[in-house]
Amino acid sequence: MATTAHRRSQLTREQVAQQKRGTQERSKLKLLVPSVGVFFTPLSLEEAFLFQDGRRRISSRRFVPPSFNDIRLILNSAQLLSLTRNGPIELVTFDGDVTLYDDGESLTDENPVIDKIIRLLRQGTRIGIVTAAGYTNAFRYYERLHGLLDAIADAITDTGVKVENPRLIILGGESNYLFEFDFHAENFLRYVPRETWMLDEMRKWLEEDIQSLLDVAEGALRECINNMQLSAEILRKDRAVGIIPVAGPGRQKFTREQLEETVLVTQQVLEVSSPGKKIPFCAFNGGNDVFVDIGDKSWGVLSCQRYFGGIEGSKTLHVGDQFLSAGANDFKARLACTTAWIASPAETVALLDELQLHSENR
């Protein structure tokens, strides 16, 4: 398998070289996999396989072949190796639920990922939390992230632990609301007006088109509620619309199939609609709800990169749990930067430890 990984590494190096020349359509990888996207860095697949083989004993197994999770973790390691060898990572962005904390929970002070994020901040790495949670006030984000925000504040005031100008932002609603860490602000978060950080392309999105898209999405969601007899209600926000279970005793837990059907129906309706051709959107499965947001994670990550001075995709890592194409809102982040696919908050902690290990050994 190491030999196979070596050959695949050569394909990624050739792909990156062809991209730099603007001739990526001629690459061997593009010919083999026509749907392949952009590579921000080559992938050190052979070394990544040997690293994961030392942990997971893939080559020692007699009856169990390499699994999906084996491949996923090998690709994560390959990406980390390539990033650390091309210089320090300048920006790490994270999804929220299932990435930093369990689904529907909060980032509490005992969460082990907090120390890993503070370590990145001490090293001068910028941090962005790009989440689907769309709140317009700082307190709601403080409720979800108070363990991390309090720990950063404590690190600033602790004379034994110095954090130089920590740069952490929260981009909520995928790409709609930006808050920056501010030690002197209430809840340690300062709202940043949208007009000061929006990308030039985002300024072309007309408000009437945005509301028209949300109207179409709401109609599609209502149709799904009726067709599948869901015990759900519509929740409309200024930049999002979704369905949530009806509150009260016996609150319904939607099945995965119901959630994915709702995502796919709504997405298809929007794709053929007039506003859907003008305004980027993201329809996604939130675990026990379905939402449509204006913009998506690619716009969110690109906005973080611009806010921090124009960081390149090859110097950015996005960590998330939703990369399957159906109803997965981290999927689009691949258009903006390198990515790592994790399956739990514990995997995020392990990933950041591995990142530190490769950084020390580069």
CB 236 within 8 A of CB 214: yes
Per-residue b or e along 29-50, where b marks 16 or more CB atoms closer than 10 Å to that residue's CB: bbeeeeeeeebbbbbbbbbbbb
CB 173 within 8 A of CB 132: yes
Q: CA–CA separation, 49 vs 195, rounded Å?
A: 45
Residue 95 falls in the annotated catalytic set: yes
Which of 53, 70, 97, 293 is labelled catalytic?
Answer: 97
Pairing type for strands 240-245 and 189-192 reads: unpaired
Provide the 3-class DSSP secondary structure of residue 281.
strand
CB 322 within 8 A of CB 329: yes
DSSP string across 4-47: HHHHHHHHHHHHHHHHHHT-GGGSHHHHH-TT----SS---HHH
The pair phi, psi for residue 31, each rounded to 5°, is -70, -35
Structure tokens at 9: 């590494």
Which of 95, 293, 321, 330 is labelled catalytic?
Answer: 95
The pair phi, psi for residue 180, each rounded to 5°, is -115, 145
Q: CA–CA separation, 138 vs 322, rounded Å?
A: 25
Cite the active site residues.
Answer: 95, 97
